[in-house]
Chains A and B, each alone.
Chain A
Amino acid sequence: MCAPDHSKNINRVGLFSYLIVEKKISLNINGINVSARPGLTILEAARENGIDIPTLCHIPDLLPIGACRLCVVEVAGSRTLVGSCHTPIAEGMVIQTHSPKVIATRRVLVELMLASHPDACLICDKANICELRRIAADLEVGLPRFRARKHYFPVEDENDRMVRDMSKCVQCRRCVMACKSQSGQPLFSMAYRGFDSKVIYGNDQPLDRDACRDCDACIEICPSGALRKPRKPGEERADKALFIKG
């Protein structure tokens, strides 16, 4: 039995390994009794049972980040909603993943992300594969009720592997986490605080020519238009899908 070390990226099963016991855990999700392996998070147990919970910061097999809060669910007996990506299942847990309270909360969260997001989907290179946009459509979020000042940062396009537009960042931290897990010399950290928080490179400078090597891990998991591959007009797009619901 050993407590988890937060300083390292470890496999998520390892995070709650101190809770692992032999027996399977029975729980109730959305009124249905299910059983799942000990050590799983609520999110994993739900997904194993075919229930999809939206999330913008979760990366399978990496340490949970817990920043976006979209994966919150109702757990009986809990005063607040609970982040399903980082909460381990426990015997007898009664969970609601799509109750009215949960849906209303998720809508507000998406609206909050959109509150400071540039209104630039029409010309965004990732509009057709944007996870933020897909989740907003799924939750039937239209024009957000909330507005906040926008973050305007110049587009960083010096690097020939990656274009960064931090105006579109939703601060999920996936790129920070993915880069850390892939490379010996991670590129990004969080800087500043509160609403001014930002994913930075170096001393908060634009991504330069030599910055990134070759893995593309951060680009693939970026849920918004903040990170993308440079693309010239006429080149094939990543996906044809376009989200129009909502």
Chain B
Amino acid sequence: MTSKRVKKPSQERAELVERLKEAQRHHGCVSEEVIAALAESLAIPVHEVYGVASFYSFLTTRPLGRNVILVCKSLPCHLKGAEMIMEAVAKELGIGPGETTADGRFSFELTNCIGLCDHAPAMLINQDPHLDLTPEKIKQILKSYK
């Protein structure tokens, strides 16, 4: 028995989701090149990698900005005025949901429930939570992301 840990194919395969997320962190999105490289290194077909990447909402094949804003649109946030937050973000950045600023600083997305309903309305920026939002707070929060 050697000390070197040999991974079984199934264990390597299990890393696909994690590696896709890692690639997205580095490259801003899961590009065709990323998919091809992952398919090659994990020895699985390109379409299968694409199939996994397109399943999860936090993965995207569309290039995103440096900072990704996810404003929650689900009911508990909606009841507490999520629309006003969306408007404030849109006004501040000059873009609508699904868009990226021209300078590549922000992408603005809407998301389903992020489990911060006791502090609604809420959003995630680069997966950091921002709670109990008001339209007034948005400017200050966005300032801190370069």
Report if A and B associate in a common complex.
yes
A200 to B61 alpha-carbon distance, docked (Å): 15
Q: Is the CB of A193 within 8 A of B47?
A: no
Encode A73-104 as 1/0 by CB contact (under 8 A) with B.
00000000000000000000000000000000
Q: Chain A: interface secondary structure? A: loop
Interface size class for chain A?
A: 10 to 19
Residue in B closest to A193 when the chains form the complex, CB atoms: B55
User: A-side interface residues toward B, CB under 8 Å?
Assistant: 7, 185-193, 200-204
- CB-CB under 8 A from A190, the residues of chain B are 51
Q: Given A7-B10, A203-B32, check contact A192 B47 (CB 8 Å).
A: no
Residue in A closest to B10 when the chains form the complex, CB atoms: A7
A and B contact pairs by CB, cutoff 8 A, 13 listed: A185-B45, A186-B45, A189-B47, A189-B50, A191-B47, A192-B54, A200-B51, A202-B46, A203-B50, A203-B61, A204-B47, A204-B50, A204-B54
In the assembled complex, the CB of A42 is this many whole angstroms from the nearest CB of chain B, namely 30
Q: How many residues of B contact A (CB 8 A)?
A: 12
Interface centre among A191, A192, A193 (most CB of B within 10 A): A191
**Interface membership of B85, Cβ < 8 A:** no
- CB-CB under 8 A from A191, the residues of chain B are 47, 50-51, 54-55
In the assembled complex, the CB of B79 is this many whole angstroms from the nearest CB of chain A, namely 25
Q: Is the CB of B32 within 8 A of A189?
A: no
Q: Is the CB of A201 within 8 A of B47?
A: yes
Residue in B closest to A186 when the chains form the complex, CB atoms: B45
A185 to B48 alpha-carbon distance, docked (Å): 11
A188 to B50 alpha-carbon distance, docked (Å): 11
- CB-CB under 8 A from A185, the residues of chain B are 45
- CB-CB under 8 A from A192, the residues of chain B are 54-55
- CB-CB under 8 A from A193, the residues of chain B are 54-55
Q: Is the CB of A187 within 8 A of B47?
A: yes
A201 to B48 alpha-carbon distance, docked (Å): 9
- CB-CB under 8 A from A200, the residues of chain B are 47, 50-51
A9 to B35 alpha-carbon distance, docked (Å): 25
In the assembled complex, the CB of B88 is this many whole angstroms from the nearest CB of chain A, namely 30
A58 to B54 alpha-carbon distance, docked (Å): 26
Among residues 22 to 40 in chain B, which have CB atoms less than 8 Å away from a CB atom of chain A?
Answer: 32, 35
Q: Is the CB of A202 within 8 A of B54?
A: no
Q: A187-B47, A204-B50 are in contact. List 19 more A-B contacts (CB 8 A).
A: A185-B45, A186-B45, A188-B47, A189-B47, A189-B50, A189-B51, A190-B51, A191-B47, A192-B54, A193-B54, A193-B55, A200-B50, A200-B51, A202-B47, A202-B50, A203-B46, A203-B61, A204-B47, A204-B54
Residue in B closest to A200 when the chains form the complex, CB atoms: B47
Q: Is the CB of B51 within 8 A of A203?
A: no
A202 to B10 alpha-carbon distance, docked (Å): 22
A17 to B54 alpha-carbon distance, docked (Å): 34
A77 to B48 alpha-carbon distance, docked (Å): 39
Residue in B closest to A7 when the chains form the complex, CB atoms: B10
Q: Is the CB of A189 within 8 A of B45?
A: yes
A233 to B45 alpha-carbon distance, docked (Å): 36
Interface centre among B32, B48, B51, B61 (most CB of A within 10 A): B51
- CB-CB under 8 A from A188, the residues of chain B are 47
A204 to B54 alpha-carbon distance, docked (Å): 10
Encode B42-83 as 1/0 by CB contact (under 8 A) with A.
000111101100110000010000000000000000000000
